């Protein structure tokens, strides 16, 4: 899920809607289908379907007024739209005391991908509701642009699936000891998932005065980027080269004597980055190309730096 937007129809908009409709409402509050609107924006087209399945489980769907606008679009018409559900509370939920006041109301929920949302926003600015409104010389360009948006949505899903397949293949190669594979995020994850390698890094961290922590997802992604940037800087481009670099016969004895953790901790990726920085085989100016500042400043102020980080995290 990328984003969820919500709105309640303004009183003047509600009044205008019921006054311009030819049909007479017995009770506009319960008969209007969109007094409340929700828009759910997803990453992938498949997520639109999954969200729809959840909505069908949680709400009662008004099939007559719900529509998949993309499916309803003729092949020779431009446009790239979303799925609209008109929902009301399910019978079981209506029985609950906290939901009873809303039992008769309906709402509209739009579900679309990020690219469908982008198309809708731009198309709204162009203010063309149908091909007949478009100047002829622009019509073909809009057809092509609409098709490109749809193609891009398909490609994003295919790229995700291909990434998952490659990650699975890397994991299998690493398990089988086949390490002559390119160094990238997926192969690095597969390599560092091995318990033996993580334990070896944890031992080196402990020898340098620290412990291994589990970072949150945002920090972990950043730590992986830093580690990949460092490995690229020192010329490590395959998992086999990384494995050789971290050879237990060489790496622990080549680490400089600085206690870079000083009782603090780090995730495996972050810890490995700092351990490689401390390696006597690494040029000191590499630090500034991965982090801000330089290695001398970091090591000179390591104690104060870690104490400050600990205070920010725990207040002690």
Q: What is the CATH number of the domain that holds 109?
A: 3.30.460.10
Indicate if 212 and 286 belong to the same structural domain.
yes
Is 75 part of a structural domain of the chain? Answer: yes
- Amino acid 253: pLDDT: 66
Q: What is the pTM for the complete model shown?
A: 0.70
Asked, for residue 167, whether it belongs to a domain, the answer is: no
Could you tell me if 203 and 297 lie in one domain? Answer: yes
- Answer whether residue 245 shows pLDDT above 50: yes
Please report whether residue 229 resides in a domain: yes
Tell me which of 126-135, 143-152, 283-292 is least confident.
Answer: 126-135
Whether 198 and 112 share a structural domain: no
Average the pLDDT over 58-65 and give the result. Answer: 91
For residues 159-166, give the mean pLDDT: 94
Interval 20-29 mean pLDDT = 73
Range of the structural domain that residue 199 is part of: 179-314
pLDDT band per the 50, 70, 90 thresholds, residue 78: very low
Q: Distance (Å, rounded) from C-alpha 217 to C-alpha 302?
A: 25
Lowest pLDDT segment from 15-24, 59-68, 87-96: 15-24
Inside any domain, residue 170 = no
Is residue 169 domain-resident?
Answer: no
The reply to whether 40 falls in a domain is yes
What does the DSSP 8-state code read for residue 268? H
Position 31 in a domain: yes
pLDDT-above-70 percentage for the chain: 81
From the CB of residue 156, how many other CB atoms can be counted at a distance below 10 Å?
A: 16
Q: Of 82, 117, 152, at which residue does a domain stop?
A: 152
**Chain mean pLDDT for the chain:** 83
- 117 and 193 co-located in one domain: no
Specify the pLDDT at position 247.
81
Instruction: Please check whether residues 245 and 139 belong to one and the same domain.
Output: no
Please state the domain count of the chain.
2
Q: Could you tell me if 251 and 123 lie in one domain?
A: no
pLDDT value, residue 1: 65
Per-residue CA distances from 160 to 43, 44, 156, 180 (Å) = 10, 9, 6, 24
User: b/e for 22-46, b at 16 or more Cβ within 10 A?
Assistant: eeeeeeeeeebbbbbbbbbbbbbbe
CA-CA distance, 246 to 260, in Å (whole number)?
18
């Amino acid at each position: 899920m990328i984003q969820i937007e919500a709105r309640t129809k303004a009183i003047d908009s509600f009044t205008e809607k019921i006054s311009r409709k030819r049909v007479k409402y017995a009770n506009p509050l319960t008969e209007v289908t969109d007094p409340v609107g929700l828009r759910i924006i997803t990453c992938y087209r498949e997520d639109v379907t999954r969200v729809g399945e959840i909505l069908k489980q949680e709400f009662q769907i008004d099939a007559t007024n719900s529509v998949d606008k993309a499916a309803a679009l003729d092949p020779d018409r431009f446009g790239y739209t979303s799925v609209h559900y008109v929902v009301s509370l399910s019978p079981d939920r209506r029985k609950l005391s906290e939901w009873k006041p809303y039992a008769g109301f309906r709402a509209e929920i739009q579900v679309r991908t990020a690219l469908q949302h982008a198309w809708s926003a731009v198309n709204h600015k162009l203010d063309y509701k149908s091909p007949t409104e478009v100047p002829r010389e622009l019509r073909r360009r809009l057809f092509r642009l609409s098709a490109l948006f749809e193609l891009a949505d398909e490609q994003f899903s295919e790229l995700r699936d291909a990434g998952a397949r490659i990650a699975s293949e890397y994991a299998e190669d690493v398990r089988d000891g086949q390490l002559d594979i390119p160094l990238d995020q997926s192969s690095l994850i597969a390599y560092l998932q091995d318990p033996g390698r993580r334990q070896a890094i944890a031992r080196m961290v402990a020898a340098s005065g620290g412990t291994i922590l589990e970072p949150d997802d945002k920090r972990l992604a950043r730590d992986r980027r830093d580690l990949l940037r460092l490995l690229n800087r020192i010329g490590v481009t395959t998992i086999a080269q990384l494995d050789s670099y971290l050879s237990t016969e060489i790496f622990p004895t080549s680490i400089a004597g600085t206690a870079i953790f000083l009782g603090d901790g780090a995730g495996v990726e972050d810890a490995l980055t700092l351990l490689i920085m401390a390696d006597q085989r690494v040029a000191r100016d590499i630090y500034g190309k991965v982090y801000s500042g330089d290695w001398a400043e970091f090591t000179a102020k390591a104690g104060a730096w870690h104490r400050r980080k600990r205070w920010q995290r725990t207040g002690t």
